[in-house]
Structure 1
Amino acid sequence: MPSMHVWVGYFESEEEFEKFVDQEKYLEAWAIYDNEPPTGGEEDAEPSPALRCEFCKEVELDTYDEDYIELQYYGKSVDADRIVDAIVADREELGRLWNRHRLDRVNALIAYEDKDLSTESASKSIRTTYLGKVNRNTPNHEIGGAVVHYLWVGESETLSIHSSEAVRKEIKKLNIDEDAIVNIHFYYSNKKEKLDEMIIMQVEDFNVAESMILKVDELQVSPTANAILDLIVYEPFKIDGSAIGSALGMAYIGKFDAE
Structure 2
Amino acid sequence: MHIWLGNFQSEREFEKYLDQKEYLDAWAIYDNELPTGNEYDVEPDTELRCDFCKEVNLYTYDEDSMIMKYYQDAIEIRALAKDILADEEELGNVWKKHTINNANAVIAYKVNDLSEEDASNSKTVEYLGKITRISAASTDDFGVHHLWVGRYDFEKEEIKEIIDVDENEIIDLNFYYSYMKEKLDDMIINRIEDFNVAEKMILKADEMKIPNEVNAILDLFLNKTSEIDGKKIGMNLGMKYIGRFEVE
Q: What range describes the TM-score normalised by the shorter chain of this pair?
A: 0.5 to 0.7
Instruction: Classify 1:48/1:208 alpha carbon distance in 2 versus 1 (closer, same or farther; 3 Å).
Output: same
Distance 2:18 2:238 in 1: 24
Residues 206-255 of structure 1: per-residue CA shift (max 9 Å, x gap)? 442242355475xxxx9986421123457x33253569959x95646142
Structure 2 residue corresponding to 1:208, chosen from 178, 201, 211 = 201
Residue 87 of structure 2: aligned partner? 88
Normalised by the size of structure 2, how large is the TM-score?
A: 0.56
Residues 41-93 of structure 1: per-residue CA shift (max 9 Å, x gap)? 423x6775346444211x14145786xx9622458747434323213344656
Instruction: Classify 1:242/1:4 alpha carbon distance in 2 versus 1 (closer, same or farther; 3 Å).
Output: closer
- Counting matched residue pairs gives 222
Q: Which amino acid aligns with 1:229?
A: L
8 Å CA contact 2:3, 2:109 repeated in 1: yes
Instruction: Classify 1:254/1:77 alpha carbon distance in 2 versus 1 (closer, same or farther; 3 Å).
Output: farther
Identity of aligned residues (%): 16
Structure 2 residue corresponding to 1:188, chosen from 170, 177, 198 = 177
Instruction: Classify 1:244/1:134 alpha carbon distance in 2 versus 1 (closer, same or farther; 3 Å).
Output: farther
Q: Which amino acid aligns with 1:49?
A: T
Structure 1: 5+ residue runs without aligned partners?
none
Displacement over 6 Å in runs of 4+: 13-18, 21-24, 93-99
Q: Which amino acid aligns with 1:133?
A: L
Instruction: Classify 1:257/1:223 alpha carbon distance in 2 versus 1 (closer, same or farther; 3 Å).
Output: closer
Structure 2: 5+ residue runs without aligned partners?
190-197
Q: Please state whether the residue corresponding to 1:6 is helix, strand or coil.
A: strand
Q: Which amino acid aligns with 2:244?
A: F
Residue 150 of structure 1: aligned partner? 146
Residue correspondence of structure 1 range 49-60 to structure 2 within 5 A: 49-50=46-47, 52-57=49-54, 59-60=55-56
Residues 75-114 of structure 1: per-residue CA shift (max 9 Å, x gap)? 87474343232133446568879995335xx4x5313584
Q: Which amino acid aligns with 2:184?
A: I
Distance 1:140 1:176 in 2: 20
Q: Which amino acid aligns with 2:147?
A: L
Instruction: Classify 1:74/1:212 alpha carbon distance in 2 versus 1 (closer, same or farther; 3 Å).
Output: same
Q: Which amino acid aligns with 1:117?
A: D
Structure 2 residue corresponding to 1:240, chosen from 214, 228, 245 = 228
Residues 118-149 of structure 1: per-residue CA shift (max 9 Å, x gap)? 64x21x22xxxx24426748432375699543
Instruction: Classify 1:147/1:198 alpha carbon distance in 2 versus 1 (closer, same or farther; 3 Å).
Output: farther
8 Å CA contact 2:14, 2:70 repeated in 1: yes
8 Å CA contact 1:21, 1:54 repeated in 2: no
Instruction: Classify 1:215/1:201 alpha carbon distance in 2 versus 1 (closer, same or farther; 3 Å).
Output: same
Residue 193 of structure 2: aligned partner? none
Residue 176 of structure 1: aligned partner? 168
Instruction: Classify 1:199/1:51 alpha carbon distance in 2 versus 1 (closer, same or farther; 3 Å).
Output: farther
